Structure 1
Amino acid sequence: MKNDKPIIYLDNAATSWPKPPAVWEAMERTMKTSAANPGRGSHQMAVQASRVLFEARKRLARLFRIGNPNDIAFTLNTTHALNMAIQGLLQPGDHVIATSLEHNSVRRPLEALKRKLGIEVTYVATDSQGVLNPAKVIDAITDKTKLIAATHSSNLLGTITPIGEIGEIARSRGIKLLVDAAQSAGVLPIDVAGMRIDLLAFPGHKGLFGPQGTGGLYIDPNLELEPLMQGGTGSKSEAPEQPTVRPDRYEAGTPNTVGIAGLSEGAQFVLKETPEAIHARELHLTFELMEGLQAIPGLTILGPDIGIERTAIVSFLLDGVDPSELAFLLDQQFGIAVRAGFHCTPLGHETAGSYETGAVRASPGYFTNESEIVSMVEAVKEIKRTLHGGRS
């Protein structure tokens, strides 16, 4: 709330808000009735907790067209899932192809393995709007290429990567494909088999409408990773090694059962509404926001032009105004929540030409309404008038 007015929340690319009521109702219900350790006991509360996890796996498997729900390992977030995939797969001497749009959750683990293991990394450049030519991926492949890591949609530009084409390229050459679905899970249709995805890292707290501290990693049944963590799983406790059975192998320690209960209901909400309908709603709002902002003199929108398919991300610069100051004023004077800075993707800002300044990012969500879009545009206009001494 700001001055007794509801906040206008346009930071859904970071965490979606508000959540469907069923999400927090399920979390409260689970905390009250079945928040025991799943897989660690045979009493009824532990059994019910296990059911919560399996129901969530089944719903996520339906959403992503995954054959076996046990090929989904729950994680804390997308970053956790990406680290599991990257650190669990790569060996000394391996070569990795990534894109110039990658989030630090991909770049930093890769750069760490460059230092530790001597892996090689090639970042394939997109154009300034984030459009990737798959032919450049082919050109970057060597006889040592083990993995292609690609964001499904840029968290700065909203550009959608042609994952299906990249998947065909990878599969035909025996290379594994890791997809960062931080901005696409729940919003864009994902079919892991049809898109030739070997590893899919996704968040619970964004397009799946779950709580923070939830996410997952799909691991192709023909692919084995070295576990990122070792520890208690409730299975094969007599063995000194981590069990091989899935998903236990990749889920050491007590899981976030309450959070996963919320994620399960978020996934169910997406299944009911469908990613196609959610994306259509968000894209309509995104184009409305872009249309209003681009009419402001001196304002530059990053990423694809209006009318071109994208996710609900609108990053922009306003001449003569620091992005952090603009975001601060939107919050303090108008109660509008956006995000300014580098959005954990310096690669993306280098690609877009905004590395020196960063940018303001507004990201509508499924529950945003048209009047809030109008308020955002009018607020930016007012801030510009104020800072520029009445000049438009």
Structure 2
Amino acid sequence: MKRSAAPRANVKRATHTADRRPRRQSARAWAPPDDPNIAAAGFLHDMALLQRTERSRFGYKRAAKMVAAGIDRSVRELIAEGTLRDVPYIGPATERIIAELIASGGSAIVADAVAVSTARGEVEKRQAFRRAYLSRYAMRQALDAPFAESIVSRATYRGDLQMHSTWSDGVESIASLADAAIALGYTRIGVTDHSYGLPIAGGMSMASAARQHREVDAVNEQFGGRLRVYKGIEANILADGSLDLSRDERRVFEYVIASPHSLLRRSNDQTARMIGAVREPGVAILGHPQGRMYNSRPGVRADWRRVFREAASRRVAIELDGNWHRQDIDFELARVALDEGCLFALDSDAHSLGELPFTDYAIAHARIAGIPANRVVNCWDAKTFDRWLSERRR
């Protein structure tokens, strides 16, 4: 039986409103007209910050995650149908907040709670950590929207170049990842476990890497050309822009992703650090460049146009990491990188089989940014891709 929607509140104030950016229209780029699900999740996260008990905080956070990442339909449609309460973890309190948002673009409930809270500063800070993320609903819109055939799509995507196995902090064997990749229609994947400089993530020693590569060889032989597994590594960008792997160690791998995993909450400019990483010999991909996390941290601050210009000049691909919590870089920065002439890598950063579909978020951001498939290394034919990797290893 369908539950009726909560009454639409007559909200007179607009002191706490959804982020409604101007609708950008261009010949090459498309964006969802709005994303009520991600806006609703933001309000629920704000309420979570104001709760006195862990149980209440968890309830709001769980509802926020479901609305943002767990449903394919717009909360606006569900409110109109009276079926929002059928969504797991949505109760009367969260339904009222979402109903206010849909009715007015804001929430008096949240605004009043924030106004009298000592956590107001923290709430406002966290709001800045949610910019340019896509909900699952908006991601689906972007994948299904009509684009020129030249724009990257699922159909042109040949394989995922960042994923982690049991050799570092992943939970799946390489063979399991390969099986899943074939089921997704891929012809290539890259296993990119963490390097030894990140022990908290089970980073591989070089001795472990040698053993892993023997396993990759066996998997490639097993699949007999149906799928090629590449021997990648995710190296750490140090404070000065150098990597935690020596140049000789990098040559052991077929490609290197250089990613920031530290100094991600600093307010200082880190342009020199990121440009330094791009200039490091052997780097093929600049991984999740900002190091941002939804509702948690904004990531690295840098003059990204300068970083992208340097990457373009060296044919280092810029990653769009599709992990839902990362979505890094987003469609806004991707447009800047596209303007500077960059290549791109669209990856899941999966640590389990269930995370492999995160490539959908990367592809969605790329489509919104108007990135053509011929600029995406995941879409290249094997000969072109291998030639590019050879260039990067010099």
Query: Structure 2-normalised TM-score?
Result: 0.31
Q: Using CA pairs below 8 Å that are at least 6 residues apart, which structure has the higher relative contact order?
A: 1
TM-score, scaled relative to structure 1? 0.31
Structure number with higher strand proportion: 1
